[in-house]
Amino acid sequence: MVPERVRNVALVGHGGSGKTTLAEAMLYVGGATTRMGSVESGTTTLDHEPEEIARSISLSLAAATVEWDGHRINIIDTPGSSDFVGDARSALRAVDLAIFCVSAVDGVEVQTEQLWRAAGEEGIPRAVVMTKLDRERAGYERTLDQLRSAFGKQIAPIQVPMGEEASLRGLIRVATERAYEYPPGAKTGTQVELPSDVADLVHTAHTGLIETVVETDDAMMEAYFEGVEPDRDQIVSTIHKGIVSGDIHPVLVTSASRLIGIDTLFEFIVDYGPNPLERIFPPLAFGSPLAPGEEGPLVAYVFKTFSDPFVGRVSLFRIYTGVAKADQELEIARGGRVRLHSLFKLQGKEHRDVEDLPVGGIGAVAKIESIRAGDTLRSPGVEVAIRPVEYPRPVAEMAISPHSHQDEEKLSTALSRIADEDPTVRIERRSETGETILAGLGDNHLEVTLERIHRMFGVEIDSTLPKVPYRETITTTGEAEGKHKKQTGGRGQFGVASVRFSPRPRGSGYEFIDSIKGGAIPRGFIPAVDKGVREALERGVLAGYPVIDVSAELFDGKYHSVDSDEMSFRMAGIQAFRAAAEKLRPVLLEPIMRVEVTVPEDHLGDVMGDINSRRGRVLGMDGDSTLRVVTAEVPMAEMRQYAAELRSLTSGRGTFEIGFDHYAEVPHNEAQEVISASKAKTTD
């Protein structure tokens, strides 16, 4: 298949907007499957993992191919939940056109807007398919108004529905003003007379589309003013160029469950969609972009890896230039070489072997453990590397441990594999709490990850909320003498250190100052005092948490020519801090997180009230269209289950990003609770 006849599209949008149902309809109408798969019954080609079937939602991207009018259309269906948005971001890197599914019932939702911006940043052309027009409460004009409000004047409807809700029976092509009806079960529409009840709407949309087209060309505009409209070829060419440049975002209409508009969606993709030779080269980590083409070296990007129970690790990649062939040897840009022993395409979970893949091809290889998502594969000697996709930072955490000691090694292996395959997962060992932390994009993400670990590796895992990594600090200056003296017969131990402790600005860390004069302590023993003070600070004063932002000035001391050694002065440093602790007025500190919450405007008051109830401080508010972004500082202790609580508060329409900002003093009442709990645990 020549590159000009290849189309790579991703179906993206908010969860529940009908992406997988649309993809299944495309596979069925295009002849790639013999039946229409159902999300509800778990019979889809694309949602095939047990966790997806159990939840009736997409949890990871899936790829399939369909042929239409001599063209090969590679479809990537993506998850719509913010918990699994990493795969949607990955899919955008691999395709040439992002088709946004927007429900005519629910309209433009949060995840749609965020992915729209992500596609723009990636330089991917965008189109909109309005879905679920046959459902109760569906509204074409209302949804179109929302699209224009959210995405601007580039929104250009090229189809209008005939009827709405239960009376939906077909569509009208705006450019030609031709109407098509779809009898029950029919895969293609039949041309009929333009219904009078939608004639005005169609004429208005036609005029708007033609004006959008002629505005791009002076000659066409002059002819239009003289009463000459552009012909079909001019309209197709102009819209195609507008899609590629990002100046036009066409809007189509469908009902996937009733197969309405699937054939015209295919025709749109074939006639208007960009081909791989028109794809801009992705951003580079180093090197210079190569011109797309079948001649010359190969450069490909690995956008997804996952484990298959039969063939092991599978790596999906997109070819930007060159041709991949079975048994070909390639370099990994970050180091190492691999051989493509088996080359295949995916049709859902099925593997279909191929001998080669041309530029624009989306393929896969198996059993190559050294390949990771984000890798660049290239012909040897080509000095270029594609910059990996940027993913959202984790927002939810849990502390995990194996249910039995026998599973410790298996859990370690499982976590390493999961972290390699899912770039939005973070595994962290927190020394201050002794916990292994699994972090992800939401509670559902973490829950699904644990289920996959159990299914794939047979590991039972216990999980709890992570402990808050509190800190302690001092609020005033004080000094004390630390004395270590021990005599047990023979050589003893002796060391005296006088240390002055002072608070430092928040976030400035620990500082040791050597102010010894006159040889009160030999130079060789001074580092031991520093080491002892550090040890004492790590053990804490109030609740056993590390003491931070402290200056320790060693200004005097005593030693014995025979009994003094490094151990003696290390112990003297420890004793000096213990002796000074009470007069330093220690306080408990808690981590404060910077949070950005994106919510529809009608949930703004609830979200801000909730932030205040969490001891949070709202810093500002921003936003465009119907979404608002609230920036706030909130204690970590109040945010450990925020992902689930925000979902409940906003009916799943709110998202957030979170990151550590600084440490701040814990209010007295909360501090006493933490200190009491720590002492009770120590007593136990």
Digit-coded pLDDT (tens) for 410-432: 999 999 999 989 999 999 998 87
List of E strands, 291-340: 299-308, 312-321, 324-325, 329-332, 337-339
Is residue 42 located within the same domain as residue 100?
Answer: yes
Crossing angle (nearest 10°) for helices 232-245 and 262-272: 80
Q: What is the pLDDT of residue 489?
A: 67
| Per-residue confidence band for 406, with pLDDT thresholds at 50, 70 and 90 | confident
What mean pLDDT is predicted for residues 565-592? 95
634 Cβ partners below 8 Å, 6+ apart?
A: 592, 593, 595, 611, 614, 615, 616, 617
Long-range contacts of 561-565 (CB under 8 A, 24+ apart): 562/491, 563/487, 563/491, 563/492, 563/493, 563/494, 564/493, 564/494, 564/495, 564/522, 564/525, 565/493, 565/495, 565/525
> How far apart, in whole angstroms, are the C-alpha atoms of residue 547 and residue 588?
9
Pair (269, 360) in one structural domain: no
Domain of 334 in residue numbering reads as: 284-386
User: Is residue 227 situated within a structural domain?
Assistant: yes
- Tell me: do 300 and 410 sit in the same domain: no
Look at residue 487 in the predicted model and tell me its pLDDT. Answer: 76
Q: Which of 115, 75, 136, 137 is nearest to 265 (CA)?
A: 75
In terms of C-beta density within 10 A (0-12 exposed, 13-18 middle, 19 or more buried), how is residue 677 classed? exposed
In a shared domain, residues 512 and 654: no
> What pLDDT is attached to residue 625?
58
How far from the centroid of its chain's Cα atoms is residue 31's Cα?
33
Structure confidence at residue 655 (pLDDT): 86
Contact residues for 606 (Cβ-Cβ < 8 A; gap 6+): 649, 650
The answer to whether position 476 is within a domain reads: yes
User: SS3 of 619, please?
Assistant: strand
Checking if the pLDDT of 684 tops 60, the result is: no
Residues 124, 25, single domain; the answer is: yes
Q: Which pLDDT tens digit goes with each residue over 14-27?
A: 999 999 999 999 99
Query: What is the rounded distance in angstroms from the CA atom of residue 260 to the CA atom of residue 253?
Result: 8
Asked if residues 128 and 95 have their Cβ atoms less than 8 Å apart, the reply is: no
Please say which residue of 532, 563, 584 terminates a domain: 584
- Please list, in sequence order, all residues whose beta carbon lies within 8 angstroms of the beta carbon of residue 610, skipping any fewer than 6 positions away: 645, 649
Give me the CATH number covering residue 565: 3.30.230.10
Mean pLDDT along residues 310-317: 90
pLDDT digits (tens, 9 = 90+) for 443-477: 999 999 999 999 988 999 999 999 999 999 999 99
In a domain, 683, yes or no: no
pLDDT score recorded for residue 324: 94
pLDDT digits (tens, 9 = 90+) for 168-188: 999 999 999 999 999 999 999
Same domain assignment for residues 209 and 346: no
Domain-terminating residue out of 248, 278, 308? 278
Average pLDDT over residues 567-591: 95
91 domain-assigned: yes
Q: Determine the 3-state secondary structure of 26 from DSSP.
A: helix
On whether both 13 and 48 belong to a single domain, the answer is: yes
What are the structure tokens assigned to 405, written together? 């000691």
* 490 and 554 fall within a common domain: yes
What pLDDT was estimated at residue 192?
95
How far is 180 from 193, CA to CA, in rounded Å? 8
List, in order, residues 6 or more apart from 535 with CB less than 8 Å away. 570, 573, 574
Same domain for 368 and 449, yes or no, is: no
> What are the pLDDT digits (tens) for 527-536?
999 999 999 9
346-362 tens-digit pLDDT: 999 999 999 999 999 99
**CATH number, domain at 424?**
3.30.70.870
Count of domains for the chain? 5
Angstrom distance (rounded) from CA 166 to CA 100:
23
Residues 53, 69, single domain; the answer is yes
Would 549 be classed as within a structural domain?
yes
Helix (H, G, I), strand (E, B) or coil at 44: coil
pTM: 0.87
For residue 368, being part of any structural domain is answered with yes
For residue 679, being part of any structural domain is answered with no
Are 501 and 360 members of one domain?
no
For residues 102 and 160, membership in a common domain is answered with yes
> Alpha carbon of 185 to those of 32, 195, 646, 667: distances in Å?
17, 22, 41, 66
